[in-house]
Amino acid sequence: MSGNNDASNKKLEFYFGDFGRFIPMIIAVIFILIAAVNQVNVQGYVIAFFAALVFGVLFVKNPKEYCEAAISGLGRPIFAIISIAVLLSAVAGALVSRSGLIHTLAAAVIGADFTGGMFAAFAFVVCCVLSMATGTSVGTYIVSFPIFYPIGVMVGVHPSFMAGALASGALFGDNLAPISDTTIASAGSQKCDMGACVRTRCWYSLPAAAAVFFIQLFFGGRGGTISPEIMGDLTVTPLSYVMLIVPVVIITLCLMRTHLIAALSYGIVVGIVAGIGSGLYPVSAIFNYPGGFRVGGMFVESIIGAAGTVMMLYGVFALLGVMDKSGVIDVAGAKITSLAKGVRGTEATIALSIGFMAWITGVIAVGMVALGDVVAEIGEKVGLNKYRRANLMDCGAIGMAALVPWTVHSVLPAQLASTALPAAALSPVQVLTHNFYAIVLLVIVAFAIITGYARNHDPDREVGNNAAK
């Protein structure tokens, strides 16, 4: 091995031995708990991750390597994609919401008596379809929240339930769609046939989705009287229907596998043309330069409004870089996989290890790729077929990743909800406690491990048996 490779593989060294490497994460968790208890917005989580970075440097032996590790975390492509998408989605959302379309659609939904839990359940199904077609939960969040969240709250859905319905639908496709990165990673790491993997996963995903549908239908909200503070002046602006072209263009392009950034950009351009051409907006409402070292208009205002979330993402991914270079991820994986004892113990280890990696890295597929070989090895020792292993990896990680307040599956929905309807702003904790798809999916995984449910579904063996007959 070359000297350069040795240097690149060298781990950060901290004071206080092995415990020291966990200090930045502990600091982040402390501030996250403070933010959660006080029900703060995303700014509280910005403090948490940057405080962890700042105070963490006091415990590292080589500050230069520490800083380089933090910067390396920002080099992950997913960081750039999510950050730019958050900013562009804020612009697209502003074009739609400020046109009067949200209030106009809300009035139409109320008039049709399609309110409360009915609307929440409907929105969940729509997001399931969209996420299945696109394979991306992040893209589904960005497309669905600016439209569905404010309308849902205005027609009587509890804000937390409305956010939970949209987040749950987005995760459904991330969990099941054959084009999802998590499905590809889980199936590929265990050398599964993709189609067969999706079919066997339906035993976990479909019952979870059915449960969420009925939870939203019966408990999402009763409709009826809506708080005037949230609803505001429900003014109907028929001309605003022209702005439906913005989500239509974005969704259509996403379904055509267009890159998310390109889809959002096209949607913004079309929205600007439609808004100005229809007379809904003067040019100055979108771009204006009043002088005095100032600029205005919804384009720059919406970007600045979403900057807090991007700042938090900077902190998250920088801290992930530190945790990666300090060996925290390696230690966590080794400790958890050492717990594999017997069939049930091994199954629990598989689900928990990938889920824990998702907590640490913030990206679900990373843990599947990193621990895929280990999962295959420990699973084969106790006779678990590859489809069972892949499904436990994916379902366990999807469920766990959405139930902590620092991953994109809690932070991004909270930011989008708060931007779409500031009067019904949410914290990441409020989102994760109402993400019923993640909660029910983990219950199903636990039930499957304890009872053996769906353990022996092995399409390869079934094909072999049929051929023998």
337 lies in a domain?
A: no
284 lies in a domain?
A: yes
Task: Measure the N-to-C terminal CA separation of the chain; round to a whole number of Å.
Answer: 53
pLDDT tens digits, one per residue of 48-63: 889 999 999 999 999 9
pLDDT tens digits, one per residue of 255-278: 676 877 888 899 899 999 999 999
Of 237 and 362, the one with more pLDDT: 237
Lowest mean pLDDT among 69-78, 231-240, 364-373, 389-398: 231-240
The DSSP symbol for 288 reads B
The DSSP symbol for 296 reads B
61 lies in a domain?
A: no
pLDDT tens digits, one per residue of 356-408: 878 876 667 767 876 788 888 889 989 999 999 999 999 999 999 999 887 88
Domain with 146, as residue range(s), is 78-307
Q: How far is CA 213 from CA 185, 210, 263, 399, in A?
A: 27, 5, 29, 17
Beta-carbon count within 10 A of 73 CB? 23
How many distinct structural domains can be found in the chain? 1
206 lies in a domain?
A: yes
DSSP string, 43-79: HHHHHHHHHHHHHHGGGBS-HHHHHHHHHHHTT-HHH
34 lies in a domain?
A: no
pLDDT tens digits, one per residue of 422-463: 888 888 889 999 999 999 999 999 999 999 999 988 887 765
3-state DSSP call for residue 14?
A: strand
pLDDT at residue 409 greater than cutoff 60: yes
CB 362 within 8 A of CB 407: yes
132 lies in a domain?
A: yes
325 lies in a domain?
A: no
- Helix ranges (DSSP H) in 155-243: 159-176, 181-189, 194-219, 228-231
pLDDT band of 3, cuts 50, 70, 90: very low
68 lies in a domain?
A: no
Q: Is the pTM of this model over 0.75?
A: no
Helices (H) and strands (E) in the chain, counts: 26, 0
Rg of the chain (C-alpha set): 23
CB 162 within 8 A of CB 147: no
CA dihedral for 107, 111, 114, 115, sign (positive or negative): positive
Q: Please tell me the distance from the alpha carbon of residue 463 to that of residue 455, in angstroms, as a whole number.
A: 17
pLDDT tens digits, one per residue of 321-358: 888 788 876 776 677 667 778 899 999 999 988 888 78
